[in-house]
Chain A
């Protein structure tokens, strides 16, 4: 699972560098993000702009990360293309995650 990482201030921007985010990538994704969830509160932006396909396992991996985030943490998703957005809507995950259009929007949305 390839994930790009950079920082904007104390905010961490993670970019999923895979076009297919399915069951074969779900465990690797959860493991890759684990180290960001071990300390104190963290502010994460997850950029899905390169993802063309996501299934229920990919969504489940995102949910797993959200549930494991330390108290006071924030996660904002951005860059979702139409196929990915439609899966968030279809599974009603758009009610669970904060989703912004761009990375800049997502960074602005984070409160700290």
Chain B
């Protein structure tokens, strides 16, 4: 199965096209339209994190997404060479970000749901900071195999 590498400049306006390519690959791998969209969102969230937090939106860098399409799973490795995140924080339970009281609107945070979405949708995720590059690996199992 193919291994695909996509690289974009660290600009938020470069992310939509990358997202569409990820969606196309997910569709080709047999994910349902809902799964395809959800995985696309997860990869976009990971790339957005690299641009916003690792690079502080400095557009002079690159974000690379390596996609390894195996028989049983899709593996997305999102690479950046910016400031590393704290792996403990990345691996902590982020589901609480989805807990809210709709009657207390002003208390609902406007951001911070990206990792919760990733943890909810992907079968596993793993953040590995490195001296040169940081890797955020997202894995989605392919059903029906």
Contact = CB atoms under 8 A, between A and B. Distances in A.
B111 A53 contact: no
A63 B97 CA distance: 14
A64 interface: yes
A56 B114 contact: yes
Question: Which of the four size classes fits the interface of chain B?
Answer: 20 to 34
Interface of A is mostly: helix
Contacts of A10: none
Interface stretch (B36-44, B67-75, B129-137): B36-44
A24 interface: yes
Contacts of A61: 110
Given A23-B12, A67-B108, A91-B98, A60 B33 contact: no
Nearest to B42: A55
A63 B33 contact: no
The listed residue with most B CB atoms (<10 A of its CB), out of A61, A64, A86, is A86
Contacts of A83: 33-34, 37
Given A22-B44, A24-B16, A67-B105, A86 B37 contact: yes
Interface of B: 11-13, 15-16, 19-20, 33-34, 37-38, 40-41, 44-45, 48, 51-52, 98-100, 102, 105-106, 108, 110-114, 116-117, 120-121
